[in-house]
Amino acid sequence: MKRIQWLDFGKGFTIFLVLVGHVFKGMQTSGAFEAYHNSFQFIIQCFYIFHIPVFFALSGYLFKPVKDLQAYPKYVLKKSLNLLIPYLLFCVTYFFFQKLGGGSVREGTSLADLLAIYKRPIAVSWYLYVLWGVSLYVGLLSVFIKDQKKLLTVTAVTSILSYPLHSSIFLLQGTLLWSGIYCLGHFLSQVSLEKLATHLTQKVLVISALIALYLFWWIQFDFKNGVSYLTPGPEGLVFVLSVFLAFLLYPRLPHNGFFNYFADKGKSSLIIYIFHSPVLSAIRIMLLRLGVQSMLLHVLIGIAGGWLISLFIAYLFNKVKFLNFFVAPTKYIRF
């Protein structure tokens, strides 16, 4: 299957935004920069209402409906291998990085937490866990619902129903909530990009204005609460706006050095996602132990160091077959 360049760019640039957002989130939760708490809160909100919704939609863009019930078990097996093995890899890696951090870790992960990942994910691994649930749920629906509009409608309804449900079962709540955004990405894969981009400037301005209005409302009435990825309020509508903004802009960007750089990195977005969080934690702990208190240095070193180290890890995982198995197992397992 030929790679879609703008989709690779979307993955690469969006994972970079995830990393930047987590730099600020880690600094905020560290307790070492209380003077910047409100600034961090605003910056984090801007990143968080955008990057993960866009990632779910980009994943949905590549979704292929399951032909029939006979094909579904093989589909489940493939999705489980491709998502649960990286999920396990992240959880184990994060656990050991936290143990190395010792008392410097603000909210440690216990062995009990690691053993309970079948029902409660650790840190940012929740995305892989929920994406697995969404993939299985939407895949099953696609056996019976072949029309993309109907599939989007059903998942949008179940997403809305997740708001009052507030299920204590993490996977159920996450699957219901994010299936709509995932199927929005799948629906947009059937829409002509040229048609979508008609009156591009006006559309981008309107969507940007609506997002700005939401942020203004949030600052005035809900500033203490950050975005929730399981029980969102008005953010749910903003997630949809963010997806449309990304799908309007990403395919229209000129294929210059900036575009090509992130398009190349998008091929390793899963590996970067798995390792960037423990890498950022290690950098932050090291800087604090060295007595570095400058907010600007933490931001610059966190972003640059976290990105470059994550890229180096991605390089190793792409080059060494033994390591590559853990992030792309179905390349080596024949069905």
Instruction: Give the pLDDT of residue 102.
Output: 56
Instruction: Give the pLDDT of residue 52.
Output: 97
Instruction: Tell me which amino acid residue 170 is.
Output: F
The parent domain of residue 273 ranges over 5-331
Band the pLDDT of 25: cuts 50, 70, 90. very high
Find, among 102, 22, 89, the residue nearest to 276 by Cα: 22
What separation, in Å, do the N-terminal and C-terminal C-alpha atoms of the chain show?
18
Query: pLDDT (tens digit, 9 = 90+) per residue, 266-291?
Result: 999 999 999 999 999 999 999 999 99
Residue 234, CA atoms < 13 Å, CB-side half-sphere:
15
Query: pLDDT (tens digit, 9 = 90+) per residue, 174-207?
Result: 999 999 999 999 999 999 888 888 999 999 999 9
- Mean pLDDT (the chain) is 93
Instruction: Give the pLDDT of residue 219.
Output: 96
- Tell me the mean pLDDT in the region 155-169: 92
Structurally, the chain folds into a number of domains equal to 1
- State both tokens at 269: 């977005």
Q: How far apart are CA 49 and CA 238, in angstroms?
A: 7
H or E segment to which residue 27 belongs? helix 5-30
Query: pLDDT (tens digit, 9 = 90+) per residue, 201-231?
Result: 999 999 999 999 999 999 999 999 989 999 9
Residues 6+ apart with CB under 8 A from 293: 32
